A and B are shown apart, each in its own frame.
Chain A
Amino acid sequence: MSRYVIGRIGQAALVLWAAFTVSFILLQALPGDAILIKFLNPELGLGPEQIADIRASYGADSPLVVQYFHTAANFLTGQFGYSIHAGVPVGDLILANLPQTLWLSTLGFLLSVVLAVALAALSALSPFLWLRSFIQSIPALFISTPVFWLGILLIQIFSFQLKLIPIINPGPWQGLILPVMTLAVPISAPLAQILMRNIDHVLTEPFVAVARAKGASHRWVLWKHVAKNAVLPTLTIGGILFGELLAGAVVTEAVFGLNGLGGLTQRSVNDQDIAVLQAIVVFSATAFVLINLTVDLLYPVFDPRLRVRQGAVA
């Protein structure tokens, strides 16, 4: 057991180290650097010697190996450095952006699941073929709706025309309503499509015919047999989409003027603010590794076969 745990933790640490190293190398390979970009900015009007001095004071010209170990040591002690562009500690920047991203993506995902299930249920239960094909075409409409346009439209209608939800100075929950709607629409589309396709597929299975032959109603068959079988593949794709949401809300964040990791990443790439990017990469890798580690460590708890095998090995 303990060997299993140590092995998994070791693997996790290795993955983290690899993520750090690869991102360090890749980020250093970028053509410019944040210090240069920040201080060459005409707004400061600095001379070449002044810029050279500043570079030296940041240690930007020291050998890469030195910088690598320096950065690694800092990360290990929880010092992520400063954002050159924003002039604040990277840790503060991430803390200012992370909660919003988590709320936005979690709620956006939940709403998209609700939307997808509602669409699938409507389509499966609809008594007319024309209505059914109309509902089945809705996901295609959803997925081709530009997020940017949808966001602006929702703001125009609900905030500016109907004056229901202020976009400026909203309450903490109020402020999430429109962006969550904006995010959920495109994400619900593939979910709904897969759910519908699976329902159709399962409906053709022999056991459904058997259930029908026994006199089960359409509704009962759907609920008891089809739904269970159709949900599993949907969950798989849902997991992937949720990951996409965490980083992919850039447009929504920009339209609604929200903080978020997506926007932070985009701005940092723009300014080549390496310290921030490096921290985001390592942070995301840590989150991913921790989730997987937890799942791996929980396997033996839930699956007795694993426990036995591990016991035998140990």
Chain B
Amino acid sequence: MTLKSLSGSKAHLAALVGVTFLAGTSLWGSHAVAAGGEGAPAKGGTLVYLEQQPHTNLYPPAGGFYPNGGILNQITDKLTYQNPKTLEIEPWIAESWTVNADATEYTFKIRTGVTFSDGTPLDAAAVAKNYDTFGRGNKDLKLPISEVINNYDRSEVIDPQTVKFYFKKPSPGFLQGTSVIGSGLVSLKTLALPYEALGDATKIIGSGPFVVASETLGRELTLKARPEYNWGPAKLEHQGRAYLDEIKYIVTPEDSVRIGALLAGQADVIRQIQAYDEKQVEDEGYLIYAPSTRGVNNSVVFRPDNPLVADVKVRRALLHATNTEEIVATLFSTNYPKATSIIAKTASGYVDLSPKLSYDIAKAKQLLDEAGWKVGANGRRQKDGQTLELSAYESLPQPQNKETLQLVAQQWEKVGVKLNVLTADSGSATINNLDPAKAPVSPAMVGRADPDVIKSQYYPTNRNVLLQKGGNSDKVQSFVDERLNGLLDQLASEPDRSKRLAVAGEVQNYVVDQAYAIPIFEEPQAFAAAPYVKNVSFEAVGRPSFYSTWLAPRR
């Protein structure tokens, strides 16, 4: 079976099951796309994994940064695991759990015999300490609160193997939140360290199948398998220790060097491969893995605080002036599906909004005319002596973001609107991007396989991509959308599953009706691997897992 047909059927399956939403959904579809998988797994060997960037802080809630997640996923375990095939949340470190009716109390029974790699037990007390830290932060140690845990109040250790969590308000996304990379469990020694000391990977003591053996800062990291590891997810076919002996992460920033090294047999798996390089790799018989990040799609968002885009007609005009089809076909591959809503097809609660996202240049022109923006002498739209000229900062982590924005700029040019695509160092870009006057348009995306992700993206006190007042930007004058925020609040605290999904649908419709965002494509994480690397799997937002990976003899 080819990889593509496999991932296609997975997406289909995921979409089907998405309808019967499972309380907090992680680990959808793509995963275990083993090419062949023939024969019994071979034990031993070192997997050489080329990373594009060095990891930064490895405090588990900071696992969102791709290089961090790629390491944390091997060295930490989570309370729960979501089976990629059935999409159910399954036992892992927690043997079982109960949730009360309004999702304000969660009780977990912890598996016995689990230890962190420093020898300390992973028991109820350790779990409680982890979640108290993730859910409330720690001011003295400067540890920030985890983004995936909403409305956390406190923990209670009932007995050595039982822990109970209380929430101030319903927190229906919590169960899924216990399965994500950002909720990796670490030993008390790690939790006692200040935030600024957690960039040293050797200090991150987890209970995972691999342990950090050595590190050369910014250059190399070696993980070794834990021989006594015997607490993988209970329903997983593979039990016991990992097949690999070792994983070597080597930071190799240059794209062509990573690909060349893979094809020359010097590396086994590489992260981050651009769409235009995929063909070369596939032609040589190597494999591309492009697991979806399953969250809010790669989009262009508006900052309505800027008067130029305050009028919904202008935003809607630009939405219809954007030819997503052309962007995907020109710059990307089939691994980058065209967006049909603000969240991915495989995300829970997805509704198909393609009719509202049509490319319609006549409609765009008409809307701009209606809004009072007339074509001036130079072909640009003008109103009251002002030109409709907007700016956006390139986002470095997103694939071919500059090219994408430049293509959008060309498309908008056809209706007389100018978009300046600006480049800056990541520091200045971060600051300027928080100012609606400087960045009325912005690229945006975020991955997490739970409807809470929509709140994360748009809510003023979370990522606040629309730049509402009261959020992370002090440059906003007045823009607030109470209706949107109300819907997002409801989304994060509605305990009833079907009602919660209905709210998710409502938010997607609302954001598109208001044309706050123009969804472009569903963003994958793209990897390439040698054909003898078997059973590479990926978690919900595309981070690799090498627990069941093995190396077949090279042909």
Minimum CB–CB distance from B139 to chain A (whole Å) comes to 6
Residues on the A chain within 8 Å of B434, using CB:
40
CA distance A258 to B472 in the complex (A): 36
Chain B residues 186-239 with CB under 8 Å of chain A are: 195-200, 216-219
Q: Does A32 contact B (CB under 8 A)?
A: yes
Q: Does B256 contact A (CB under 8 A)?
A: yes
Known: A50-B145, A87-B58, A259-B219. A32 touches B261 (CB 8 A): no
Q: Does A58 contact B (CB under 8 A)?
A: yes
Minimum CB–CB distance from A251 to chain B (whole Å) comes to 10
Interface residues on B, range: 35 or more
Closest to A32 in B: B431
How many chain A residues touch B (Cβ–Cβ < 8 Å)?
Answer: 57
Minimum CB–CB distance from A264 to chain B (whole Å) comes to 7
Known: A32-B428, A57-B139, A169-B48. A86 touches B472 (CB 8 A): no
Of A67-75, A90-98, A134-142, A197-205, which binds chain B? A90-98
Let me know if B425 and A160 touch, CB within 8 A.
Answer: no
Known: A41-B430, A48-B461. A254 touches B261 (CB 8 A): no
Let me know if A97 and B427 touch, CB within 8 A.
Answer: no
Interface string of B448-489 (1 = CB under 8 A from A): 000000001000011101000011100000000000000000
Let me know if A45 and B463 touch, CB within 8 A.
Answer: yes
Known: A155-B257, A159-B266, A160-B264. A45 touches B456 (CB 8 A): yes
Most-contacted residue by chain A among B137, B142, B145, B147 (CB, 10 A): B142
Which residue of the partner chain, among A38, A152, A168, contacts B261 with CB atoms under 8 Å?
A: A168
CA distance A52 to B305 in the complex (A): 23
Let me know if A85 and B218 touch, CB within 8 A.
Answer: no
Minimum CB–CB distance from B548 to chain A (whole Å) comes to 24
Chain A residues 50-88 with CB under 8 Å of chain B are: 50-51, 53-54, 57-58, 82-88
Known: A32-B427, A46-B145, A87-B58. A257 touches B472 (CB 8 A): no
Chain B residues 252-302 with CB under 8 Å of chain A are: 252-254, 256-257, 260-261, 263-264, 266-267
Q: Does B61 contact A (CB under 8 A)?
A: yes
Let me know if A48 and B471 touch, CB within 8 A.
Answer: yes
Let me know if A88 and B200 touch, CB within 8 A.
Answer: yes
Q: Does B439 contact A (CB under 8 A)?
A: no
Minimum CB–CB distance from B250 to chain A (whole Å) comes to 6
Q: Does B248 contact A (CB under 8 A)?
A: yes
Let me know if B257 and A255 touch, CB within 8 A.
Answer: yes
Interface string of A235-261 (1 = CB under 8 A from B): 000000000000000000011111100
Minimum CB–CB distance from B450 to chain A (whole Å) comes to 13
Let me know if A254 and B254 touch, CB within 8 A.
Answer: yes
Residues on the A chain within 8 Å of B216, using CB:
96, 259
Closest to A170 in B: B266
Minimum CB–CB distance from A308 to chain B (whole Å) comes to 51
Which residue of the partner chain, among A43, A82, A255, contacts B65 with CB atoms under 8 Å?
A: A43
Most-contacted residue by chain A among B50, B54, B56 (CB, 10 A): B56
Most-contacted residue by chain A among B59, B61, B137, B430 (CB, 10 A): B430
Q: Does A36 contact B (CB under 8 A)?
A: yes
Closest to B256 in A: A152
Closest to A42 in B: B463
Q: Does B57 contact A (CB under 8 A)?
A: yes
Closest to A34 in B: B427
Residues on the A chain within 8 Å of B218, using CB:
86, 93, 96-97, 259, 264
Minimum CB–CB distance from B302 to chain A (whole Å) comes to 17
Q: Does B173 contact A (CB under 8 A)?
A: no
Residues on the B chain within 8 Å of A152, using CB:
254, 256-257
Q: Does B426 contact A (CB under 8 A)?
A: yes
Known: A44-B147, A87-B56. A270 touches B426 (CB 8 A): yes
Which residue of the partner chain, among A45, A58, A270, contacts B147 with CB atoms under 8 Å?
A: A45
Let me know if A86 and B264 touch, CB within 8 A.
Answer: no
Let me know if B264 and A159 touch, CB within 8 A.
Answer: yes
Let me know if A44 and B254 touch, CB within 8 A.
Answer: no
Q: Does B251 contact A (CB under 8 A)?
A: yes
CA distance A159 to B137 in the complex (A): 48
Known: A47-B472, A166-B266. A87 touches B200 (CB 8 A): yes
Let me know if B427 and A37 touch, CB within 8 A.
Answer: yes
CA distance A215 to B524 in the complex (A): 78
Let me know if A168 and B266 touch, CB within 8 A.
Answer: yes
Minimum CB–CB distance from B284 to chain A (whole Å) comes to 12
Which residue of the partner chain, among B142, B260, B425, B430, contacts A156 with CB atoms under 8 Å?
A: B260
Let me know if B427 and A257 touch, CB within 8 A.
Answer: no
Let me know if A270 and B142 touch, CB within 8 A.
Answer: no
Residues on the A chain within 8 Å of B463, using CB:
42, 45
CA distance A85 to B53 in the complex (A): 13
Q: Does B184 contact A (CB under 8 A)?
A: no
Closest to A56 in B: B139
Q: Does B64 contact A (CB under 8 A)?
A: yes
Minimum CB–CB distance from A28 to chain B (whole Å) comes to 14
Q: How many A-B residue pairs have CB under 8 A?
A: 162
Let me know if B253 and A86 touch, CB within 8 A.
Answer: no
Let me know if A84 and B145 touch, CB within 8 A.
Answer: no
Chain A residues 157-182 with CB under 8 Å of chain B are: 159-160, 163, 166-169
Let me know if A87 and B431 touch, CB within 8 A.
Answer: no
Q: Does B47 contact A (CB under 8 A)?
A: no
Q: Does B62 contact A (CB under 8 A)?
A: yes
Minimum CB–CB distance from B443 to chain A (whole Å) comes to 11
Let me know if A88 and B427 touch, CB within 8 A.
Answer: no
Let me know if B260 and A155 touch, CB within 8 A.
Answer: yes
Q: Does A206 contact B (CB under 8 A)?
A: no
Residues on the A chain within 8 Å of B462, using CB:
45, 47
Let me know if B427 and A44 touch, CB within 8 A.
Answer: no
Closest to A47 in B: B461
Q: Does A269 contact B (CB under 8 A)?
A: yes
Minimum CB–CB distance from A191 to chain B (whole Å) comes to 28
Known: A57-B142, A168-B252, A269-B425. A37 touches B219 (CB 8 A): no
Let me know if A37 and B54 touch, CB within 8 A.
Answer: no
CA distance A38 to B142 in the complex (A): 13
CA distance A264 to B248 in the complex (A): 22
Residues on the A chain within 8 Å of B456, using CB:
45
Closest to B62 in A: A44
Let me know if B137 and A43 touch, CB within 8 A.
Answer: no
Q: Does B339 contact A (CB under 8 A)?
A: no
Minimum CB–CB distance from B61 to chain A (whole Å) comes to 7
Let me know if A86 and B56 touch, CB within 8 A.
Answer: yes
Known: A168-B250, A169-B48. A87 touches B196 (CB 8 A): yes
Residues on the A chain within 8 Å of B309, using CB:
none
CA distance A93 to B215 in the complex (A): 12
Which residue of the partner chain, among B217, B260, B426, B427, contacts A159 with CB atoms under 8 Å?
A: B260
Q: Does B491 contact A (CB under 8 A)?
A: no
- Given contact pairs A34-B427, A168-B267, A259-B217, enumerate 16 new A-B contacts (beta carbons under 8 Å): A48-B471, A50-B145, A57-B139, A85-B57, A87-B197, A89-B197, A155-B257, A159-B264, A163-B264, A167-B261, A169-B48, A169-B266, A255-B257, A257-B250, A270-B425, A270-B426
Q: Which residues of B contact A (CB under 8 A)?
A: 48, 50, 54, 56-59, 61-62, 64-65, 137, 139-140, 142, 144-145, 147, 195-200, 216-219, 248, 250-254, 256-257, 260-261, 263-264, 266-267, 425-428, 430-431, 434, 446, 456, 461-463, 465, 470-472
5 contacts between A and B (CB under 8 A): A36-B430, A46-B144, A57-B139, A87-B195, A97-B218
- Sorted from nearest, which 4 A-B pairs have the closest CB atoms? A87-B199, A45-B147, A43-B64, A87-B57
